[in-house]
């Protein structure tokens, strides 16, 4: 947790590619090391495939390695294994809800809508992985943003792999109408990132203190995406 300000914390988002690196190896220890290097209080994960690691589910293994609590958000069953979103947190959990964002005829998609407690203050986290077609993403973004009420007064963070690489598309315009801080940072492909597919958005721009893409060689090798983190102030 950030020491400089008692009301600041670090949040992150990372598409872990099911724990499979650019070398094609399933290496959960490598994924855990990358997550530990983020030093985050809250981490949204995408493409979490629930494989067994040391007799544990992959998500349970990662949570145990980091000393965090896991919130699963599977969206489909792949080869008899659940697959989808997840959230890791060091903060107490007030409320958790799974949101179905599936568009008919397309791969099942969803989001986690979670309210966390940080020193008595609420932090709402919307964690998602949107679809591959632009019309699909536009429908999913509308559905997700309909859950957000700007009058609620709480700090809200939207995290995840939005599969959007142009900042002026309809889904991104929808997002910017509700979230005033939407940093654009290339995260894909990990070896030579040129596309901003992963986002970390905050509803109040003065709450966003720092945004960072993590790029060291170990991280570049661990997934096809780079992780994105930010310090926010409540």
Beta bridge partners of 49: 83
Residue at token pair 């080869």 = 79
For the residues 138-160, what does the mean pLDDT come to? Answer: 91
Helix, strand and coil content of the chain, in percent to the nearest 5, comes to: 25, 40, 35
Task: Provide the pLDDT for residue 5.
Answer: 63
Q: Is residue 180 part of a domain?
A: yes
C-alpha 217/C-alpha 144 separation (Å) is 34
Whether residue 135 is predicted with pLDDT greater than 70 in this model: the reply is yes
Q: What percent of the chain has pLDDT over 70?
A: 95
- Averaged over 57-64, what is the pLDDT? 95
Q: From the centroid of its chain, how far is CA 47?
A: 10
DSSP-assigned letters across all residues of 5-41: -TTEEEEEEEE-GGGB-TTS-B-HHHHHHHHHHHT-S
Residue 158 within a domain: yes
What pLDDT is recorded for position 100? 95
Write out the two tokens for 228. 């994105």
Residue 2 lies in a domain: no
Is 60 exceeded by the pLDDT of residue 29? yes
Residue 3 lies in a domain: no
What average pLDDT does range 109-136 have in this prediction? 95
pLDDT band of residue 1 (cuts 50, 70, 90) is very low
| pLDDT score for 21 | 96
Q: Look at residue 90 and tell me if it is in a domain.
A: yes
Per the domain annotation, does 1 fall within a domain? Answer: no
Which domain CATH number covers 62? 3.60.10.10
Which residue's entry shows tokens 């919307």?
Answer: 126
Check whether 6 has a pLDDT greater than 80: no
Query: What average pLDDT does this structure show over 126-131?
Result: 97
* Global model pTM greater than 0.85: yes
Please check whether residue 227 is in contact with residue 214, taking contact to mean a CB–CB distance below 8 angstroms.
yes
The pLDDT of residue 2 is 44
Burial of 3 (0-12, 13-18, 19+ CB in 10 A): exposed
How many domains is the chain partitioned into structurally?
1
133 lies in which domain range? 8-233
Confidence of residue 80 (pLDDT cuts 50, 70, 90): low
33 within some domain: yes
**What local confidence, expressed as pLDDT, does residue 98 receive?**
96
* Closest to 63 (Cα-Cα) out of 86, 88, 43, 96: 88
Tokens matching residue 92? 């107490």
Residue 151 CB burial class (10 angstroms; 0-12, 13-18, ≥19): exposed
Instruction: Provide the pLDDT confidence category of residue 78 given band limits of 50, 70 and 90.
Output: low
- Per-residue pLDDT of 162-219, as tens digits, reads 999 988 898 899 999 889 889 999 999 999 999 999 999 999 878 888 999 999 999 9
Q: Could you tell me which residue, 55 or 191, shows the higher pLDDT?
A: 191
Give 234 or 10, the one with higher predicted confidence. 10
Q: What is the mean pLDDT of the chain?
A: 92
């Amino acid at each position: 947790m950030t020491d400089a300000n008692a009301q600041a914390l670090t949040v992150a988002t990372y598409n872990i590619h099911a724990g499979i690196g650019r070398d094609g190896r399933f290496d959960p220890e490598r994924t855990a090391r990358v997550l530990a290097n983020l030093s985050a209080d809250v981490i949204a994960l995408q493409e979490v495939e629930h494989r067994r690691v040391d007799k544990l589910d992959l998500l349970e293994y990662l949570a145990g390695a980091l000393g965090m609590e896991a919130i699963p958000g599977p969206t489909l069953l792949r080869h008899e294994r659940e697959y989808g979103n997840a959230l890791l947190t060091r903060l107490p959990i007030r409320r958790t809800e799974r949101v179905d964002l599936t568009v008919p005829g397309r791969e099942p998609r969803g989001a986690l809508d979670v309210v966390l407690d940080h020193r008595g203050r609420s932090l709402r986290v919307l964690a998602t992985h949107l679809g591959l077609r632009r019309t699909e993403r536009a429908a999913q973004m509308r559905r997700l943003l309909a859950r957000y009420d700007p009058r609620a007064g709480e700090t809200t963070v939207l995290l995840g792999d939005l599969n959007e690489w142009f900042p002026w598309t309809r889904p991104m315009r929808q997002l910017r109408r509700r979230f005033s801080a939407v940093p654009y940072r290339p995260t894909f492909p990990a070896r030579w990132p040129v596309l901003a597919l992963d986002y970390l958005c905050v509803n109040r721009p003065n709450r966003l203190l720092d945004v960072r893409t993590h790029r060291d060689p170990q991280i570049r090798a661990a997934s096809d995406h780079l992780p994105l983190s930010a310090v926010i102030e409540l």
